[in-house]
Chain A
Amino acid sequence: MKKDLRVKQTQTMKKVLKYIKAYGGYLALSLVFAVVTVAAALYIPVVTGQVIDHILGPGQVKFSVITQLLWKMGIVIAVTALAQWLMNVCNNKITYEVVQDIRREAFAKIEILPLKFIDGHSHGELVSRVIADVDQFADGLLMGFSQLFTGVVTILGTLLFMLGINVKITLVVVLVTPVSLFVASFIARRTFSMFMLQSATRGEQTALVNEMIENQKVVQAFSKEEDILEQFDEINQRLEKASLKATFFSSLTNPSTRFVNSLVYTGVGLVGAFSAMRGVLTVGQLSCFLSYANQYTKPFNEISGVVTELQNALACAERIFALIEEESQVPEPENVKVLAEVKGNIDLKHVYFSYTPDKKLIEDFNLSVKPGQRVAIVGPTGCGKTTLINLLMRFYDVDSGSILVEGEDIREVTRQSLRESYGMVLQETWLKAGTIRENLKMGKQDASDEEMMEAANAAHAHSFIKRLPKGYDTVIGEEGGSLSVGQKQLLCIARVMLCLPPMLILDEATSSIDTRTEMKIQNAFAKMMKGRTSFIVAHRLSTIQEADMILVMKDGHILEQGSHQELLAQNGFYYELYNSQFVV
Chain B
Amino acid sequence: MKKLLVYLKNYKKECVLAPLFKMLEASFELVVPLVVSAIIDVGIAAKDSGYILRMCLVMVALGLIGLVCSVTAQYFAAKAAAGFGTKVRHQLFAHIQTFSFSEIDQAGTATLITRMTSDINQVQSGVNMVLRLFLRSPFIVFGAMVMAFTIDTKAALIFVVTIPLLSFVVFGVMAVSIPLYRKVQERLDKVLGITRENLSGARVIRAFHKEEEEKSRFEEGLENLTSMQNYVGKISAFLNPVTYVVINGATIVLLYTGAVQVDLGNLTQGEVVALVNYMSQILVELIKLANLIITITKAYACGNRVSTILEMKSSMPVNLTRTQDVSGTQAIENVPMVQFSHVGLTYQKAGAESLSEVDFTVQKGETVGIIGGTGSGKTSLVHLIPRFYDVTRGEVLIQGKNVKDYPLEELRQKVGIVMQKAVLFQGTIRENLCWGNAAATEEELYQALETAQAKEVVEGKEGKLDALVEQGGKNFSGGQRQRLTIARALVRKPDILILDDSASALDYATDARLRKAIRQMDGSPTVFIVSQRTSSIQHADKIIVLEDGQVAGMGTHQKLLEKCRVYREIYESQFKKQ
18 A-B residue pairings within 8 Å (CB atoms): A44-B248, A55-B272, A63-B259, A78-B245, A96-B229, A100-B223, A118-B202, A131-B188, A213-B96, A236-B89, A243-B85, A259-B64, A381-B510, A382-B476, A433-B193, A481-B105, A513-B532, A514-B570
Residues in A with CB closer than 8 Å to B479 are 380-382
Residues in B with CB closer than 8 Å to A576 are 509
Q: Mark B47-83, 1 if CB is under 8 A from A, else 0.
A: 1010011011001101110110011001101110111
Q: Is A484 part of the binding interface, using a Cβ–Cβ cutoff of 8 Å? A: yes
A-B contact count (CB 8 A): 483
Are A580 and B90 interface neighbours, CB within 8 A?
no
Are A225 and B97 interface neighbours, CB within 8 A?
yes
Q: Is B118 part of the binding interface, using a Cβ–Cβ cutoff of 8 Å? A: yes
Q: Is A28 part of the binding interface, using a Cβ–Cβ cutoff of 8 Å? A: no
Are A277 and B44 interface neighbours, CB within 8 A?
yes
Complex Cα gap A263–B32 (Å): 12
For residue A47, give the distance in angstroms from its CB to the closest CB of chain B. 9
Q: Mark A244-269, 1 if CB is under 8 A from B, else 0.
A: 10011001101110110011011001
Q: Is A310 part of the binding interface, using a Cβ–Cβ cutoff of 8 Å? A: no
Residues in B with CB closer than 8 Å to A482 are 105, 347
Residue of A nearest to B255 (CB): A51
When the two chains form the complex, which single residue of B242, B245, B388, B483 contacts A220, counting CB atoms closer than 8 Å? Answer: B388
Comparing A4-12, A79-87, A450-458, the segment that makes contact with chain B is A79-87
Are B507 and A92 interface neighbours, CB within 8 A?
no
Q: Is B526 part of the binding interface, using a Cβ–Cβ cutoff of 8 Å? A: no
Are A103 and B222 interface neighbours, CB within 8 A?
yes
Residue of B nearest to A81 (CB): B241
Given the known interface contacts A77-B249, A584-B539, the answer about A217 and B388 at a Cβ–Cβ threshold of 8 Å is yes
Given the known interface contacts A263-B60, A266-B59, A381-B506, the answer about A232 and B201 at a Cβ–Cβ threshold of 8 Å is no
Are A131 and B192 interface neighbours, CB within 8 A?
yes
Residue of B nearest to A82 (CB): B241
Are B105 and A104 interface neighbours, CB within 8 A?
no
Which residues in chain B, 175-220, are within 8 Å of chain A measured between CB atoms? Answer: 188, 191-211, 214-215, 218-219
Residues in A with CB closer than 8 Å to B215 are 104, 107-108, 111
Residue of B nearest to A203 (CB): B117
Comparing A333-341, A365-373, A413-421, A525-533, the segment that makes contact with chain B is A413-421
Residues in A with CB closer than 8 Å to B329 are none
Complex Cα gap A45–B279 (Å): 12
Complex Cα gap A482–B348 (Å): 11
Complex Cα gap A202–B108 (Å): 21
Interface centre among B83, B207, B218, B229 (most CB of A within 10 A): B207
4 tightest CB-CB pairs across the interface, nearest first?
Answer: A381-B479, A486-B374, A581-B508, A92-B233
Q: Is B342 part of the binding interface, using a Cβ–Cβ cutoff of 8 Å? A: no
Q: Is B375 part of the binding interface, using a Cβ–Cβ cutoff of 8 Å? A: yes
For residue B24, give the distance in angstroms from its CB to the closest CB of chain A. 12
Which residues in chain A, 409-464, are within 8 Å of chain B measured between CB atoms? Answer: 415-416, 419-420, 422, 424, 426-428, 430, 432-433, 442-443, 464
Residues in B with CB closer than 8 Å to A254 are 70, 74
Complex Cα gap A401–B191 (Å): 41
Complex Cα gap A519–B574 (Å): 8
Complex Cα gap A542–B478 (Å): 21
Given the known interface contacts A77-B244, A92-B229, the answer about A57 and B508 at a Cβ–Cβ threshold of 8 Å is no
Complex Cα gap A219–B419 (Å): 11
When the two chains form the complex, which single residue of A74, A206, A217, A223 contacts B116, counting CB atoms closer than 8 Å? Answer: A206
Residues in A with CB closer than 8 Å to B194 are 107
Are A136 and B121 interface neighbours, CB within 8 A?
yes
Q: Is A561 part of the binding interface, using a Cβ–Cβ cutoff of 8 Å? A: no
For residue A218, give the distance in angstroms from its CB to the closest CB of chain B. 5
Residues in A with CB closer than 8 Å to B104 are 213, 216
Are A111 and B214 interface neighbours, CB within 8 A?
yes
Are B90 and A266 interface neighbours, CB within 8 A?
no
Q: Is B165 part of the binding interface, using a Cβ–Cβ cutoff of 8 Å? A: no
When the two chains form the complex, which single residue of B207, B242, B347 contacts A419, counting CB atoms closer than 8 Å? Answer: B207
Question: Which DSSP category, helix, strand, loop or mixed, fits chain B's interface?
Answer: helix
Q: Is A181 part of the binding interface, using a Cβ–Cβ cutoff of 8 Å? A: no
Q: Mark B408-439, 1 if CB is under 8 A from A, else 0.
A: 11001101010111010110000000011010
When the two chains form the complex, which single residue of A215, A218, A240, A539 contacts B86, counting CB atoms closer than 8 Å? Answer: A240
Which residues in chain A, 48-74, are within 8 Å of chain B measured between CB atoms? Answer: 48, 51-52, 54-61, 63, 66-67, 70, 73-74
Residues in A with CB closer than 8 Å to B534 are 515
Which residues in chain B, 521-570, are within 8 Å of chain A measured between CB atoms? Answer: 532-535, 538-539, 569-570
Q: Is A500 part of the binding interface, using a Cβ–Cβ cutoff of 8 Å? A: no
Q: Is A209 part of the binding interface, using a Cβ–Cβ cutoff of 8 Å? A: yes
Are A55 and B244 interface neighbours, CB within 8 A?
no
Q: Mark A291-302, 1 if CB is under 8 A from B, else 0.
A: 000000010000
Residues in A with CB closer than 8 Å to B256 are 66-67, 70
Residues in A with CB closer than 8 Å to B379 are 484
Residues in A with CB closer than 8 Å to B539 are 584
The bracket for how many chain A residues form the interface is 35 or more
Are B198 and A213 interface neighbours, CB within 8 A?
no
Q: Is A318 part of the binding interface, using a Cβ–Cβ cutoff of 8 Å? A: no
Complex Cα gap A104–B85 (Å): 30
The bracket for how many chain B residues form the interface is 35 or more
Residues in A with CB closer than 8 Å to B388 are 217, 220-221
Residue of A nearest to B491 (CB): A222
Are A270 and B53 interface neighbours, CB within 8 A?
yes
Are B374 and A484 interface neighbours, CB within 8 A?
yes
Q: Is A237 part of the binding interface, using a Cβ–Cβ cutoff of 8 Å? A: yes
Residues in A with CB closer than 8 Å to B116 are 205-206, 209, 213
Comparing A15-23, A121-129, A155-163, A164-172, the segment that makes contact with chain B is A121-129
Q: Mark A99-143, 1 if CB is under 8 A from B, else 0.
A: 110011001101111010011101110111011100110000000
When the two chains form the complex, which single residue of B94, B110, B200, B244 contacts A80, counting CB atoms closer than 8 Å? Answer: B244
Q: Is A400 part of the binding interface, using a Cβ–Cβ cutoff of 8 Å? A: no
Are A395 and B208 interface neighbours, CB within 8 A?
no
Q: Is B386 part of the binding interface, using a Cβ–Cβ cutoff of 8 Å? A: yes
Complex Cα gap A122–B196 (Å): 11
Complex Cα gap A535–B373 (Å): 26
Are A103 and B203 interface neighbours, CB within 8 A?
no
Residues in B with CB closer than 8 Å to A273 are 39-40, 43-44, 52, 56
Residues in A with CB closer than 8 Å to B244 are 77, 80-81, 84
Are B222 and A104 interface neighbours, CB within 8 A?
yes
Residues in B with CB closer than 8 Å to A513 are 374, 532
Are A103 and B191 interface neighbours, CB within 8 A?
yes
For residue A53, give the distance in angstroms from its CB to the closest CB of chain B. 9
Residue of B nearest to A261 (CB): B63
When the two chains form the complex, which single residue of B195, B376, B438, B501 contacts A131, counting CB atoms closer than 8 Å? Answer: B195
Complex Cα gap A211–B472 (Å): 7
Complex Cα gap A167–B230 (Å): 44
Q: Is A89 part of the binding interface, using a Cβ–Cβ cutoff of 8 Å? A: yes
Residue of A nearest to B212 (CB): A111
Q: Is B517 part of the binding interface, using a Cβ–Cβ cutoff of 8 Å? A: no
Are B44 and A251 interface neighbours, CB within 8 A?
no
Residue of B nearest to A329 (CB): B206
When the two chains form the complex, which single residue of B52, B223, B272, B435 contacts A274, counting CB atoms closer than 8 Å? Answer: B52
Are B255 and A59 interface neighbours, CB within 8 A?
no
Are A225 and B98 interface neighbours, CB within 8 A?
yes
Q: Is B331 part of the binding interface, using a Cβ–Cβ cutoff of 8 Å? A: no
Residue of B nearest to A495 (CB): B208
Q: Mark B219-248, 1 if CB is under 8 A from A, else 0.
A: 100110110011001101110111011001
